[in-house]
Amino acid sequence: MSEVSFSFDDKVYKGHEGEPVAAALLRNGVLSITNSTYHGRPRGVVGLGVEEPNALVQLVSGTMESMLPATVIEVVNGLAARSLTGIGALPEAPDDARYDKTNRYVDTLVIGAGLAGLMAADEHLRAGREVLLIDDQPRPGGHLRHWWHLPRGLDAYMRIAGPRGGRTHRRTGDRDSYFAAALP
């Protein structure tokens, strides 16, 4: 991973490209991301993904999207964000963003590309079904992606969603983050 600069609350920090903003802020010693809405008490990161209730930010660069968990925004060079205290401001400018849409008809839809989702997709693929595998993270694997060495045999499940065709979007200020793979 290459080191990049990003700003949070008008202060410049260093982070690794592709890591969540929350992780980069924690590594830079920022433990309190915002304050509570009504009592002003400091709030830090408590979640790993979209369920994060405290570390809400507004993008200042890119789409200027508001009320995003800092755990799902990937650090890129020049990213600018600011903290929110639970109440975000809508951008004044019209939304000119392009949102991708697709209609896909498959035999099996698997939601969640963690170990259980990968195993389910593999089972249906072996039965000759067309599978659509989706996840809210930018890459398949769930928590397995954070392991240094996969337990024996699990590396095959990590590969089933890779080279067969998949499409990844990352939330970097101009697109949503999800993983979707149509598997033959």
Going residue by residue through the chain, which has 184 residues, state the pLDDT in tens, using 9 for 90 and above.
689 999 999 999 999 988 899 999 999 999 988 888 788 889 889 988 888 888 888 888 876 777 888 998 889 899 999 988 756 566 677 777 666 666 778 899 999 888 899 889 888 988 988 888 888 776 787 777 666 555 565 555 555 444 334 433 333 333 344 455 555 5
Q: Examine residue 77 and state whether it is found in any structural domain, yes or no.
A: yes
Q: Is 74 exposed, middle or buried (0-12, 13-18, 19+ CB in 10 A)?
A: buried
> Does 78 lie in the same domain as 15?
yes
Q: What is the rounded distance in angstroms from the CA atom of residue 36 to the CA atom of residue 90?
A: 20
Give the dihedral of Cα atoms 110, 125, 100, 158; nearest 10 deg. 80
| 81 bridge partner residues | 8, 59
Q: Are residues 112 and 56 in the same domain?
A: no
What is the number of domains present in the chain?
2
For residue 180, list its beta bridge partners. Answer: 134, 167
Residue 154 lies in domain: 108-183
User: Cα–Cα distance between 16 and 19 in angstroms, integer?
Assistant: 6
